[in-house]
Structure 1
Amino acid sequence: MMPLLMRILPWLITLAWPFLVWLAVSRPQLHWLIPLLALLFLLRWRGIRGSSGAFSRAGQLLALAGAALCLASFLLRSHQLLLWYPVAVSLVMLLLFGGSLFSSMPLVERLARLREPQLSPAAVRWTRRVTQIWCLFFVFNGSVAIATCLAGNLHWWTLWNGMISYLLMGVLMASEWLLRQRIRGHA
C-alpha cells in the first residue's frame, strides 16, 4: 500500500497544489497547511530521489523548490511566495524540453521510442516539432502564471493554475495523439 501511495502522491500534490494554496492563503486559520505542504514535497523528493532520468531529476528539483517556497512562505509569513510554484514548474519543463532540442534526440522522440524503437524520418521530424510546441506551451503557461502572481488576484491565480492550464495541457496532449494517429493511418 505504501509504495502505491508514494507513486500516486506526486500527482495528487501537483493537482491539489493550487487549491491547497488557495485554502492556506484565503483562510488564515488554515496557515498550518503550509508546513504540511512542505512535508509532502519533501516526501515526494524522498520518493523519487533514487530514480534516474530527466523527468526524475526535474521532479526532484521541483519537489525541493516546492518545499523551499512553502518553508519560506511560512517563516516569512509571505503567502505570495507560494504562488510562484507553477512558474517554477513551467520553467523547469521548458528547460527540460527545450534543452533536449539541442541534443541528438529531443525528449518527445525519446518518449516515442519507448513504444516504437524504429521511427521513420517523418516521425523523428514530427517528434521534434511536438517538442517545440511543448516549449511554446511552457513559455505561454509560465507567462500567464507570472501574470497571475503579479496581479495578486488569488481567484485568477487559482482558476489559471488549478484548472485552465491543466485543461490546455490535456487539449495539447489529446490533439497531438489524434494527429499522430491520423498521420500513422496515412503512412
Structure 2
Amino acid sequence: MQSPARTGKANASQLLGLALLLAGLAYPFVVYLGLEHLSPRLFAVLLGALWLARLLSGKQTPLNRTLAVIALLFCLLLGLAGEPALLRWYPVLISLALLGLFAGSLMSGMPIIERLARLSEPELPAAAVRYTRQVTWVWVGYFIINASIAGGLALWAPLSWWTLYTGLIAYLLMGLLFAGEWLVRQRVRKDK
C-alpha cells in the first residue's frame, strides 16, 4: 500500500500532466485569441511554470524530462525576446523533440513503441518486436511531416491557418494514425 504522501505526489504529477495536455491542446487557440491582448512574456511565464512544475514533480521518464527541458528553453527564449512570432514555434519544437526521441530510440536501444508494448506484454515475440520497430518509423515520419507543416505555417501562413492546423488538423491526423495502427495490429494478430 502506498503512503498518503506518495499517493498525493502521484496525484499532483497526474494533475500537472493533465494541465500540460490541456494547455497543449488549447495553446494554438489561446495564441490566436490572446495574441493581441497578452504579452508573449506572459505566455512564457505561464507555460514555463507548468513545465517547471512537471519537471520537479516526482519520477521523470526520459521522454518527460526531454520535453520539459526543451519546453523550458523555449519559454526562456520567448520570455527574453518577447517576440510574438516565436509563439508559433512551440508546436514545431514539441514535434521535433518527439521526433528526436522516437528516432533516437531506433538508433540506440529499444524503440519507444516496443517499450510501450512491453508494458502490457513483457515477453514480445520476435515478429512483434519487428512490428513495433516499423510503427516507431511511422511515428518518426509523422513527426517530420507535422513539424514541417507547422514550421511552414509559422513562417508563411496567416495565424488562422496555423491555428487550424496546429489546434485541430494535426490532432485529427494523429488520431487517424493511432486508429490505423490499431486496425493493422488487430489484423496482424488475427493472421497469426
TM-score scaled to structure 2, two decimals? 0.85
SS at match of 1:169: helix
Which residue of structure 2 aligns with residue 8 of structure 1? 18
Residue 5 of structure 1, CA deviation: 3.3
Shift in alpha-carbon separation, 1:34–1:16, aligned structure 2, 3 A: farther
Q: CA RMSD in A?
A: 2.0
Is 1:51 equivalent to 2:59 in the alignment? yes
TM-score scaled to structure 1, two decimals? 0.87
Is 1:71 equivalent to 2:71 in the alignment? no
Map Cα deviations across residues 63-119 of structure 1 (whole Å, 9 max, x no partner).
Answer: 304422541453xxx210100111101110110000001123111101110110011
- AA of the residue aligned to 1:21: V
User: In structure 2, how many angstroms separate the alpha carbons of the residues matched to 1:109 and 1:185?
Assistant: 19
Which residue of structure 2 aligns with residue 118 of structure 1? 123
Instruction: Choose between structure 1 and 2 for higher RCO, CA contacts under 8 A separated by at least 6 residues.
Output: 2
Query: Is the 8 Å Cα contact of residues 40 and 78 (structure 2) preserved in structure 1?
Result: no
Of 127, 148, 157, the residue aligned with 2:153 is: 148
Which residue of structure 2 aligns with residue 172 of structure 1? 177
Describe how 1:26-105 pairs up with structure 2 within 5 A: 28=36, 30-32=37-39, 34-36=41-43, 38-49=45-56, 50-72=58-80, 74=82, 78-105=83-110
The count of aligned residue pairs is 181
Q: Which moved more, 1:151-160 or 1:61-70?
A: 61-70
Residue 161 of structure 1, CA deviation: 0.6
- Segments of 4+ moved more than 6 angstroms: none
SS at match of 1:118: coil
Map Cα deviations across residues 25-61 of structure 1 (whole Å, 9 max, x no partner).
Answer: 2xx2x21575155223322322233432222113312
Residue 166 of structure 1, CA deviation: 0.6
Residue 142 of structure 1, CA deviation: 0.5
Query: Is the 8 Å Cα contact of residues 113 and 136 (structure 2) preserved in structure 1?
Result: yes
SS at match of 1:101: helix
> Runs of 5+ in structure 2 lacking a partner?
1-7
Residue 176 of structure 1, CA deviation: 0.7
User: In structure 2, how many angstroms separate the alpha carbons of the residues matched to 1:21 and 1:62?
Assistant: 19
Query: Is the 8 Å Cα contact of residues 45 and 59 (structure 1) preserved in structure 2?
Result: no
Residue 20 of structure 1, CA deviation: 0.8
Q: Which moved more, 1:140-149 or 1:60-69?
A: 60-69
